[in-house]
A = this chain, B = another copy of it.
Amino acid sequence: MVDKGIIERKLKANNYKLTPQRRAIIDALFEHRGRFIAAGEIHSKTLSRHSGTDFSTVYRNLEILEKMGIIHKTNIRGGAAVYELICDHSHHHHIICKGCGKTEIISACPLEHLMEDVEDKGFTVIDHKFELYGYCSKCYNKR
């Protein structure tokens, strides 16, 4: 996934229409590329691009995007789920500090090592998530 254009083509290919709201949501996610963002934040960002966009619209679209493998949904940050756009051209994973919540990017990807094993099980892999949890040096020293 290189740019917004590809996402939009992918949507069309699946009979999804290109509404301004949807575009605004994708823009918000795109602007946040590489970081996690919660539904609430996506909603506010979307508002500034297309005022009036409803929260339910945001959720409905996040669900679609997730099913299509365009975004990821994860649970860090206590309560609300966070989302992240998947960009192949900068494919990466995260290490998340359990102390302060800070995240850093890991560029290595472990998938290649076990693709075969998995497809033996009859599953067709279309996406994956790899996250490391630990403590950054600051938080580690505080203990």
Give chain A's interface residues, CB within 8 Å of chain B. 63, 67, 69, 73-75, 78, 81, 95, 97-98, 104, 106, 108, 110-111, 113-114, 117-118, 121-137, 140
Contacts and interface: CB of A to CB of B under 8 A. Distances in A.
Nearest to A98: B67
A134 B129 contact: no
A136 B110 contact: no
Contact of A95 (B78, B106, B113, B123): B123
**Chain copies in the assembly?**
2
B127 A134 contact: yes
Contacts of A132: 111, 118, 123, 125, 127-129
A134 B118 CA distance: 10
Contacts of A134: 123-127
A87 B51 CA distance: 48
A75 B117 CA distance: 24
A111 B131 CA distance: 10
A48 to B, nearest CB: 27
A114 B129 CA distance: 15
Contact of A127 (B75, B108, B114, B133): B133
A75 B104 CA distance: 20
